């Protein structure tokens, strides 16, 4: 008994009866008790029959649940007899509810058949060949019905259900079971049936599986002919179970699905009616008793029958389809009467000529033979050259001989031509045209009918050209392998394509990119323009921006040519007057110093950004432009002014120039006056200082003469002591005054006027003056173009000023306006103003000098040091006060120690 509440779920208890070995019909009877107060299952009760100490197998009877508080009787019919023995094993397992009791009582061994369950008849052993189904028939006698389950249990516990149940009588019933008997499936089986009344178990029967015999070695070939094979069976060694009751041979062609079997009564056999030159596979079959007793075929003998030489060559070779690069051929079907052999080969051989290395004079022959599949009477030749003669023949061959057909010629059709080789494109670019040449395609693939050339602009360095431009196409005849493109844009890259055409269409396109050369820039001048203004050492011209052709303008240059009267220069001037090419211009830069050995020099180089539109420019303004000194012009010489534009692009240089002005020498000039004029206020003030100093020096010369003549008559009372001027400085100044060709006041920038009446100590030497001048040139190098300078003629015309009287003092702030009035005045300048002093005051006349010195017309001079530097040798004049007392004026000037830096420039 098992109290489920005292054990864990799943725990098992076993009760083993002693081993029984009975030799007569008997029955085992027992009672069981399964109960739980609340109706839950206390567990399971199972019954096992173990035979001869083997495995328990599957349970032959089991019960579970709660069956009330009472005992139930069960019978067990075991059909295992002596000498075999068996053991009954009871097993109780606790359920998950763990409530109730499981008990067994009243186990009895009865010597008569069971009443409630049937008995099985003895189950015999079954022998079967491997691969067959074994049949077990279980016959039950006693109280049984078809509804009760009949099972076939394997010793390892596998259970097989009955395939059919048949009632033999009212007390006998037979259940049939089918078991697949494979090799290695040999085992023990028994019949089992169970019900609520009990269970019935038969004895174990053995399933015996036999393996049909198979020869170990293949048969041996004794002799072979065109239609037969003689073999020896070779069945001394076999695998499997005997005995062998029958021998057979099975043969078939290697490539055929059919097979044939012949019974053999001896150890040798001759196989008849075989196909010539055919491979056969011959095997031996052995059979043992029982269904499925024939074993698998032994190892095969693979042998081939002999064949004869083919009867003749193949005929009827024709082309069913001709294309540019392939031929589809067919010929007569092949049979045994033609080949005399089933193992044969058909080869299709062809040849054609092709130019070697692209030369039509040297031809190379291409030969090739292709194998045709067996029993095929058609073939397609591919990858042939278009428009070419192809010679084809057929060859039929077997191991005994070979037959070849006659050669038939076919011609492939035309195809689109191959591409023109890009390396054959040669060209010569100019600025507005391109000469292109090419060669015929290496593979014309037919007759070339024409060439098509197309071109399109894809890139240009000229912003005025729209890219990509329209594509244009030109057709050429077959014998024209060149073309001249005209009307192109300079400095533009064109995508040029060339392709050939046959009757089938156009071939591949050869592409190349060609860039035209750039052209010289173009000027917008209809004729030599008139200068805007002109002075003795300068000339103002109007510079118009040039239009780049193929490349933007890289730089502008102003070139000055001195007219020396030589025939070469005159001829050069005539050539350069028109818009010329780079060879007629000035390709080598030259400075004014280098111009001594040449006929021209560069006076300025301007970036394109400085000429967005027409801009005035003053030639000779004494400034520096990109390293070139715009030196003042010599009034005694004749000059030609050229305007030059240069374009640099990808290593190409193109230039164009035009003569924009001519300046003649001043016939009435004795001393050249250079006035450097700047667009900024600094340049204007510098020019005003230069003019004022010229007037001052001239007045000083006149006053010295007056002083010498009237030394005894005049006196000066402003300063108690005279200041003596340095004689060397005075002689230096007088010498430079006589050599005045041009005057430059070396003031580098405008400064605020400092203390009044500050005096300088000494004159600045020429080297210091030149250093200041170089510093000023470097400052002006990056300045913009000067313009708006009024034109000044060399000849004197009527003046708006009255020359018979002295003029009042002029402030420096008003000096610029005063100079502009004199410039715009016809025939009146500094020279006339100087002469007007002596028209109003004749120093040669013997007048009362004391009276003359006290006239109301006076001029005063206030001097200031430059940039508030007490050591500076430069002065700024605030205003001028010239009195009629020359001696007093001279003494005042001596006391002030006037320091003036004069740069005498021999232009």
Q: What string of H, E and C letters represents the secondary structure of 625-672?
A: ECCEECCCCCCCCCEEEEEEEEEEECCEEEEEEEEEEEECCCCCCCCC
Higher-confidence residue of 732 and 704: namely 704
Minimum mean pLDDT among 108-117, 506-515, 667-676: which range?
Answer: 667-676
- How many whole angstroms separate alpha carbon 446 and alpha carbon 501? 9
Band the pLDDT of 856: cuts 50, 70, 90. Answer: very low
**What sign results for the dihedral spanned by CA atoms 471, 477, 481, 487?**
negative
pLDDT at res. 321: 93
Residue that the structure tokens 């002014």 belong to:
641
751-756: average pLDDT: 30
Does position 741 have pLDDT exceeding 60, yes or no? no
Q: Is residue 582 in some structural domain?
A: no
Residue 173 belongs to a domain with what CATH number?
A: 2.60.120.200
Does position 758 have pLDDT exceeding 70, yes or no? no
Band the pLDDT of 290: cuts 50, 70, 90. Answer: confident
Band the pLDDT of 247: cuts 50, 70, 90. Answer: very high
Q: For the whole model, what pTM was predicted?
A: 0.42
Q: In 3D, which of 175, 171, 126 has the Cα closest to residue 152? A: 175
For residues 224 and 271, membership in a common domain is answered with yes
User: Which one of 516, 534, 553 terminates a domain?
Assistant: 516
Does position 740 have pLDDT exceeding 50, yes or no? no
For every residue of 815-845, DSSP letters joined together read HHHHHHHHHHSTT-SHHHHHHHHHHHS-TTS
pLDDT at res. 706: 62
72-78 and 198-201 beta bridge pairing: parallel
pLDDT single digits (tens) 858-885? 333 444 333 334 444 444 444 344 333 4
Minimum mean pLDDT among 615-629, 649-663, 803-817: which range?
Answer: 803-817
pLDDT single digits (tens) 420-464? 988 889 999 998 899 999 998 988 888 999 999 999 999 888 777
Q: In 3D, which of 397, 405, 414, 387 has the Cα closest to residue 350? A: 405
Q: Is residue 774 in some structural domain?
A: no
- How many whole angstroms separate alpha carbon 875 and alpha carbon 775? 18
User: Which one of 613, 628, 663 terminates a domain?
Assistant: 663
For residues 142 and 12, membership in a common domain is answered with yes
pLDDT at res. 351: 94
User: Which one of 206, 222, 248 terminates a domain?
Assistant: 206
Q: In 3D, which of 174, 173, 202 has the Cα closest to residue 190? A: 202
465-482: average pLDDT: 88
83 upstream amide cis, omega within 30 of 0: yes
Does position 307 have pLDDT exceeding 90, yes or no? no
Q: Is residue 739 in some structural domain?
A: no
**What sign results for the dihedral spanned by CA atoms 111, 112, 115, 117?**
positive
- How many whole angstroms separate alpha carbon 777 and alpha carbon 770? 10
Does position 242 have pLDDT exceeding 70, yes or no? yes
For residues 343 and 397, membership in a common domain is answered with yes
Q: Is residue 843 in some structural domain?
A: no
For residues 50 and 93, membership in a common domain is answered with yes
pLDDT at res. 806: 42
For residues 128 and 198, membership in a common domain is answered with yes
- How many whole angstroms separate alpha carbon 675 and alpha carbon 458? 53
Residue 622 belongs to a domain with what CATH number?
A: 2.60.40.10
For residues 24 and 160, membership in a common domain is answered with yes
For residues 550 and 608, membership in a common domain is answered with yes
Q: Is residue 92 in some structural domain?
A: yes
pLDDT at res. 817: 60
pLDDT at res. 356: 66
User: Residue 299 is part of which domain span?
Assistant: 214-305
For residues 146 and 56, membership in a common domain is answered with yes
For residues 287 and 374, membership in a common domain is answered with no
Tell me the range of 385-399, 673-687, 845-859 where mean pLDDT is highest: 385-399
pLDDT single digits (tens) 308-367? 888 899 999 999 999 999 999 999 998 888 888 877 899 999 999 987 654 445 788 999
**Phi/psi of residue 2, nearest 5 degrees:** -125, 120
In this structure, what DSSP letter does residue 290 have? S
Higher-confidence residue of 105 and 883: namely 105
Q: Is residue 560 in some structural domain?
A: yes
pLDDT at res. 462: 79
For residues 273 and 198, membership in a common domain is answered with no
Q: Is residue 857 in some structural domain?
A: no
Which residues are 180's β-sheet partners?
133
633-637: average pLDDT: 89
For residues 463 and 478, membership in a common domain is answered with yes
For residues 603 and 550, membership in a common domain is answered with yes
Total domain count, the chain = 5
Q: Is residue 242 in some structural domain?
A: yes
């Amino acid at each position: 008994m098992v109290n489920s509440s005292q054990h864990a779920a799943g725990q098992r208890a076993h009760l083993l009866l002693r081993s029984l070995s009975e030799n007569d019909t008997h029955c085992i009877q027992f009672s069981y008790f399964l109960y739980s107060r609340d109706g839950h299952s206390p567990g399971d009760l199972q019954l096992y029959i173990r035979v001869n100490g083997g495995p328990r197998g599957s349970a032959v009877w089991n019960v579970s649940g709660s069956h009330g508080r009472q005992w139930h009787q069960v019978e067990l019919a075991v059909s295992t007899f002596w000498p075999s023995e068996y053991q009954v094993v009871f097993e109780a397992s606790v359920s998950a509810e763990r409530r109730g009791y499981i008990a067994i009582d009243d186990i009895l061994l009865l010597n008569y058949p069971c009443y409630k369950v049937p008995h099985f008849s003895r189950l015999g052993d079954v022998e079967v060949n491997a691969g067959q189904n074994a049949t077990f028939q279980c016959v039950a006698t006693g109280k049984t019905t078809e509804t009760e389950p009949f099972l076939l249990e394997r010793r390892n516990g596998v259970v097989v259900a009955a395939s059919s149940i048949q009632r033999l009588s009212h007390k006998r019933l037979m259940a049939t079971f089918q078991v697949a008997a494979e090799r290695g499936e040999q085992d023990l089986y028994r019949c089992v049936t169970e019900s609520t009344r009990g269970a019935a178990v038969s004895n174990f029967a053995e399933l015996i599986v036999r393996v049909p015999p198979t020869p170990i070695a293949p048969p041996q070939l004794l002799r072979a002919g065109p239609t037969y094979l003689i073999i020896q069976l070779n069945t001394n060694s076999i695998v499997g179970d005997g005995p062998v009751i029958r021998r057979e041979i099975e043969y078939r062609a290697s490539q055929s699905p059919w097979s044939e079997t012949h019974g053999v009564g001896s150890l040798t056999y001759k196989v008849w009616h075989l196909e010539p030159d055919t491979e056969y596979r011959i095997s031996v079959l052995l059979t043992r008793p029982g269904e499925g007793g024939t074993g698998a075929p032994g190892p095969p003998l693979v042998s081939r029958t002999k064949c004869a030489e083919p009867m003749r060559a193949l005929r009827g070779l024709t082309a069913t389809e001709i294309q540019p690069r392939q031929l589809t051929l067919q010929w007569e079907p092949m049979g045994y009467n033609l080949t005399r052999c089933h193992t044969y080969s058909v080869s299709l051989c062809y040849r054609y000529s092709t130019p070697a290395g692209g030369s039509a004079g040297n031809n190379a022959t291409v030969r090739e033979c292709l194998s045709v599949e067996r029993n095929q009477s058609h073939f397609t030749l591919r990858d042939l050259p278009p428009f070419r003669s192809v010679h084809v023949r057929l060859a039929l061959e077997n191991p005994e001989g070979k037959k070849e057909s006659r050669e038939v010629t076919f011609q492939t059709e035309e195809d689109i031509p191959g591409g023109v080789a890009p390396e054959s494109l040669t060209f010569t670019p100019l600025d507005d045209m391109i000469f292109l040449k090419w060669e015929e395609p290496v593979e014309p693939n037919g007759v070339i009918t024409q060439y098509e050339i197309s071109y399109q602009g894809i890139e240009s360095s000229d912003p005025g050209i729209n890219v990509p431009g329209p594509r244009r196409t030109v057709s050429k005849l077959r014998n024209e392998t060149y073309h001249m493109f005209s009307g192109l844009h300079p400095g533009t890259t064109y995508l040029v394509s060339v392709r050939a055409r046959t009757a089938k269409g156009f071939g591949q396109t050869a592409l190349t990119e060609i860039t035209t050369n750039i052209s010289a820039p173009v000027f917008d001048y209809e004729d030599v323009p008139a200068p805007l203004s002109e002075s003795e050492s300068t000339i103002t011209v109007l510079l118009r921006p040039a239009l780049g052709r193929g490349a933007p303008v890289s730089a502008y240059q102003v070139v000055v040519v001195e007219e020396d009267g030589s025939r070469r220069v005159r001829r050069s001037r005539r050539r350069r007057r028109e818009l010329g090419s780079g060879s007629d211009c000035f390709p080598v830069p030259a400075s004014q110093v280098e111009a001594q050995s040449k006929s021209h020099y560069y006076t300025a180089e301007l970036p394109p950004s400085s000429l967005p539109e027409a801009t005035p420019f003053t030639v000779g303004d004494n400034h520096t432009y990109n390293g070139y000194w715009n030196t003042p012009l010599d009034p005694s010489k004749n000059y030609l002014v050229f305007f030059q534009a240069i374009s640099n692009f990808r290593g190409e240089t193109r230039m164009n120039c035009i003569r924009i002005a001519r300046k003649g020498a001043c016939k009435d000039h004795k001393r050249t006056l250079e006035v450097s004029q700047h667009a900024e206020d600094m340049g204007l003030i510098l020019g005003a200082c230069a003019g004022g100093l010229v007037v001052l020096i001239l007045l000083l010369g006149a006053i010295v003469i007056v002083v010498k003549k009237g030394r005894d008559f005049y006196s000066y009372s402003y300063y108690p002591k005279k200041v003596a001027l340095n004689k060397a400085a005075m002689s230096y100044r007088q010498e430079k005054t006589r050599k005045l060709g041009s005057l430059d006041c070396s003031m580098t920038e405008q400064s605020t006027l400092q203390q009044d009446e500050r005096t300088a100590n000494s004159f600045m030497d020429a080297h210091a003056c030149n250093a200041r001048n170089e510093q000023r040139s470097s400052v002006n190098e990056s300045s913009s173009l000067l313009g708006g300078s009024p034109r000044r003629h060399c000849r004197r015309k009527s003046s708006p000023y009255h020359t018979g009287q002295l003029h009042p003092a002029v402030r420096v702030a008003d000096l610029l306006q005063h100079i502009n009035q004199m410039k715009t005045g016809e025939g009146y300048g500094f020279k006339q103003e100087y002469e007007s002093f002596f028209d109003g005051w004749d120093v040669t006349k013997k007048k009362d000098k004391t009276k003359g010195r006290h006239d109301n017309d006076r001029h005063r001079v206030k001097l200031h040091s430059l940039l508030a530097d007490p050591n500076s040798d430069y002065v700024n004049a605030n205003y001028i006060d010239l009195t009629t007392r020359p001696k007093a004026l001279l003494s005042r000037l001596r006391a002030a120690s006037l320091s003036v830096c004069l740069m005498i420039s021999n232009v």
